[in-house]
Amino acid sequence: MPLFMDVHETMPEGATAADVAGAHAEDLKVQDKYGVNYKSYWVDEAARKIFCLVEAPDAEAANTVHREAHGLVADHIHLVVEGD
């Protein structure tokens, strides 16, 4: 299945890493419905950015999970290849 890295360029005002953890938990509740597997995420609090690694049939399926789970869709989704 394709692997994507999505990028949220700006965290919502006042959001914390704990809030992102909560949003990720909501993604996990919804993902199976769309054949998606959110594998991990990273938060850069200083830059106010979020990165999510996700296996999905396509980029739109990954964004659909975010949209349904919490409404915060990615600004960019990049197809990536995992290295050794």
The DSSP code sequence of 20-42 is HHHHHHHHHHHGGGGT-EEEEEE
Q: For residue 83, what pLDDT is reported?
A: 87
Q: What ranges do the domains of the chain cover?
A: 3-80
Determine the 3-state secondary structure of 26 from DSSP: helix
- Flag residues of the chain having pLDDT under 70: none
> Residue 8: which region, alpha, beta or left (left: phi > 0; alpha: psi -120 to 50)?
beta
Provide the whole-model pTM.
Answer: 0.91
Q: Give the CATH fold of the 3-80 domain.
A: Alpha-Beta Plaits (3.30.70)
- Pairing outcome for strands 76-80 and 3-8: antiparallel
Q: For residue 84, what pLDDT is reported?
A: 78
Q: For residue 6, what pLDDT is reported?
A: 97
